[in-house]
């Protein structure tokens, strides 16, 4: 009877190959998190002096000329996105750029930390648990919020740059988030949460039978 109970409640033990892959994943996660923080800090340092700030911007049907014709002749093209440089930005735009970087770095760090903790739990033989379900849920929803918030604040900063450069004569207000990847991310996050929730419940029910 004790052998049956021991076999039933035995936790998953990853193979050496699995452990090696997870350690590689943990190392990659640490590198990604550090890179995200360093990139955000460098961008904030670049923006805060508020002098000749380069801002990525999206355009809505704006026609410009590009030297792609014969002998470098100008040819009309429709701009989709470009980088614009403003001598100075409104305070709200500077704040938006800073917030954008903080959210981007925080999103990456939170998601990486959750996945690292999840991998660490799996390496120790525990795949499904309430803790792991919470980690998956937090990672998913943090990614969703970050994916929507980062371009929102970036667009706010770009619109401030447009207003400053054109003297508020150029109307190019674009507040767009690519919905297809956002919906796909939401679906994957919800699916992962459901799978881990069901797995945790089945495991607890199985352990309760012995």
Q: pLDDT of 19-39, one tens digit each?
A: 777 788 788 888 999 999 999
CB contact at 8 A, 80 and 58: yes
Q: Are strands 53-66 and 75-86 parallel, antiparallel or unpaired?
A: antiparallel
Q: Rounded to an integer, what distance in angstroms lies between the CA atom of residue 105 and that of residue 99? A: 10
Predicted confidence at residue 42, as pLDDT, reads 95
Q: Radius of gyration (Cα) for the chain, nearest Å? A: 24
Res 45 pLDDT > 90? yes
Under 8 Å between Cβ of 163 and 90: yes
Q: What is the pLDDT of residue 43?
A: 94
Judge whether 96 and 156 are in contact, CB under 8 Å: yes
Band of pLDDT at residue 111, cut at 50, 70 and 90: very high
Ordered by start, the domain boundaries in the chain are 2-55+89-208
pLDDT band, residue 12 (cuts 50/70/90) = low
């Amino acid at each position: 009877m004790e052998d049956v109970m021991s076999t039933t409640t035995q936790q998953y033990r990853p193979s050496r190959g699995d452990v090696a892959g997870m350690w590689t994943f943990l190392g990659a996660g640490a590198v990604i998190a550090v890179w995200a923080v360093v990139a955000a800090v460098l961008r904030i340092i670049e923006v805060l002096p508020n002098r000749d700030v380069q801002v990525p911007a999206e355009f809505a049907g704006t026609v410009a000329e590009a030297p792609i014709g014969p002998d470098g002749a100008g040819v009309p093209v429709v701009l989709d996105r470009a980088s614009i440089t403003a001598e100075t930005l409104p305070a709200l735009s500077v704040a938006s750029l800073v917030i954008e970087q903080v959210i981007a770095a925080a999103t990456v760090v939170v998601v990486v930390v959750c996945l690292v903790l999840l991998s660490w739990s799996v390496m120790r033989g525990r795949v499904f648990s309430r803790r792991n379900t919470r980690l998956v849920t937090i990672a998913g929803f943090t990614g969703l919020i970050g994916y929507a918030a980062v371009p929102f604040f970036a667009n706010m900063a770009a619109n401030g740059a447009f207003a400053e450069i054109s003297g508020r004569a150029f109307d190019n207000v674009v507040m767009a988030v690519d919905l297809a990847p956002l919906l796909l991310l939401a679906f994957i996050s919800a699916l992962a949460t459901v799978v881990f929730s069901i797995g945790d419940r089945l495991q607890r029910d199985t352990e309760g039978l012995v």
